[in-house]
Amino acid sequence: MDWDALGRTLRGALLRPGSPGFEDARKLFNPLNDDHVPAAVAQCESPSDVSAAVRAGGNKVPLAARSGGHSYTGYSAPHGGLVVDLRRMSAVAVEADGTATVGAGASLRDVYTTLGQANRCLPAGSCFTVGVAGVTLGGGIGVLQRKFGLTIDHLVAAEIVTADGRTLKVSPARTPDLFWGLRGGGGGNFGIVTQFTFATDPAPALTVFVVAFPSGKVTEVLSAWQPWISAAPRELWANLNISGGDPPGCRVAGCFVGPSSACHPLLDDLIARCGVLPSRRTVHDRDFFNAMRFFAGRPDRESFVASSRVLNAPTADPAAVTSLLTGRAGMALIIDPLGGAVADVGAQQTAFPHRSAFATAQVYASATAASEAEVTKSVAAVVAGLAAQGIGGGYVNYIDPALPDWPESYYGQNLGRLRSVAHDYDPDKVFDFTQGLSRV
């Protein structure tokens, strides 16, 4: 690999070990991935830079795109490989018709800031430092999904650099199979997206809330929350966050499209169904940007181990779910409801297969380098416990190399078509990685 030649080709910088700025540029969100040391980081400033990096590195060293750097297992920093860093390609522009053009290196903070200034909204994730590219390519679940759908449901076009270094304009008319695959087929499988075009909606008035319950009442709250959210209007999204402990505790947090005066009766109904008085109830009216910021309270970096499952229907045994978190301090089971606009789209209309599911469940646990192995086993035990209750599947944006049958879990009935699209656009496996479609 001729690194000097690549460095001369790029308009942006090529950083190698020992170069000023390399250590900061290579590190991802999760410090547990700090042992992933790439051979170089290409700080691309244009699609031509991305193309040059792909042409130079293809089949010579492992390649991976990096935007937010939130890949749970650090796939966006291949050890000994080339990181195609998109963060300098982060421009966000909103046209008069509400269409938003977003550079693939933009963070959700970038996206929400510009959209908020234009009084527009786009359903996406909640953590401000997450990159829009990863969110979108995996599907894009978030606090507005029951009303407005997934992020991919608003994608109208994209620009991508393919394995042979070409830059393609992707749309339903020009490249229908690739466009389909980009909407839920996961990051890093077909090429490196450099730009997205989204249809946005007028920004509505929103209500954000948190209802916390005393420890030891998880079974009662989960038993009530499931039918409550199933029957709720699509304007309401509310997840259940179960925190491990002895006994476990829980809180319900969410977002309502509308004023707090219309949200309060819905929360009163939940509390009545639970038969448990909350220990805290916080409700605020917010505009779009400040509602998104309400959910964004995370540090710049965080050490954790995580995995996921998908509930096709409400669990029949809330007590058994509660028991999985008993004694597991530092762990959370976060159940995010689907339904509403998510289910308006067929399971095979996009690559995201979980359209008719009840909820996604994320298992998330704090860890250190010293405790990582033990915490990983604990997370796997909870995942296995959920599977024993018939809760299978997984969300590709919560990627986990230990998840059993991960190709079927992430992609379901869409796996065969996704594999075919990946082969068509990357037959030589330039973008191969441990959980890439080239492996299945």
Q: Which helix (H) or strand (E) holds 40?
A: strand 40-43
Nearest to 352 by CA among 157, 197, 137: 137
Tokens describing residue 294: 């309400």
Confidence of residue 297 (pLDDT cuts 50, 70, 90): confident
Nearest to 222 by CA among 332, 331, 316, 295: 316
Which pLDDT value is given to residue 217?
98
CA-atom Rg of the chain in angstroms: 21
* Residue at token pair 């490196």: 192
Q: Cα(first)–Cα(last) distance of the chain, in Å?
A: 28
Which pLDDT value is given to residue 440?
82
Answer for the pair 306, 362: CB distance below 8 angstroms, yes or no: yes
Q: How far is CA 269 from CA 15, 272, 340, in A?
A: 56, 5, 19
- What is d(CA 83, CA 70) in angstroms, rounded to the nearest whole number? 14
Mean of pLDDT over the chain: 96
Which whole number is the average pLDDT over 258-285? 98
Indicate the Cα dihedral angle 263, 266, 271, 274, nearest 10°. Answer: -140
Tokens describing residue 410: 């992430």
372-388 and 318-325 helices cross at what angle (nearest 10)? 170
% of the chain at pLDDT higher than 70: 100
Q: How far is CA 254 from CA 14, 86, 124, 130, in A?
A: 42, 31, 14, 19
pLDDT in tens, 347-403: 999 999 999 999 999 999 999 999 999 999 999 999 999 999 999 999 999 999 999
Phi, psi of 405 (to 5 degrees): 50, 45
Nearest to 198 by CA among 158, 170, 167: 158
Which pLDDT value is given to residue 43?
98
Which pLDDT value is given to residue 332?
98
The strands making up 63-66's β-sheet, listed across from edge to edge, are 13-15, 40-43, 82-85, 63-66
% of the chain at pLDDT higher than 90: 97
Nearest to 295 by CA among 237, 250, 363: 237
The amino acid present at 118, given as its one-letter code, is A
Confidence of residue 94 (pLDDT cuts 50, 70, 90): very high
Which whole number is the average pLDDT over 401-429? 95
Phi, psi of 80 (to 5 degrees): 75, 10
pLDDT in tens, 192-216: 999 999 999 999 999 999 999 999 9
Answer for the pair 360, 141: CB distance below 8 angstroms, yes or no: yes
Which whole number is the average pLDDT over 144-157? 98
Which pLDDT value is given to residue 415?
98
Length of the chain: 440
Confidence of residue 228 (pLDDT cuts 50, 70, 90): very high
Nearest to 139 by CA among 378, 427, 326, 418: 418
pLDDT in tens, 175-197: 999 999 999 999 999 999 999 99
The amino acid present at 50, given as its one-letter code, is V
Residue partners of 134: CB distance under 8 A and separation at least 6: 67, 68, 70, 71, 187, 397
Confidence of residue 23 (pLDDT cuts 50, 70, 90): very high
Answer for the pair 318, 223: CB distance below 8 angstroms, yes or no: yes
Strand segments (E) across 174-330:
192-199, 201-202, 206-213, 236-243, 249-257, 280-286, 304-311
Question: What's the sign of the alpha-carbon dihedral 245, 250, 255, 259?
Answer: negative
Q: How far is CA 293 from CA 145, 151, 297, in A?
A: 16, 18, 7
Which pLDDT value is given to residue 166?
97
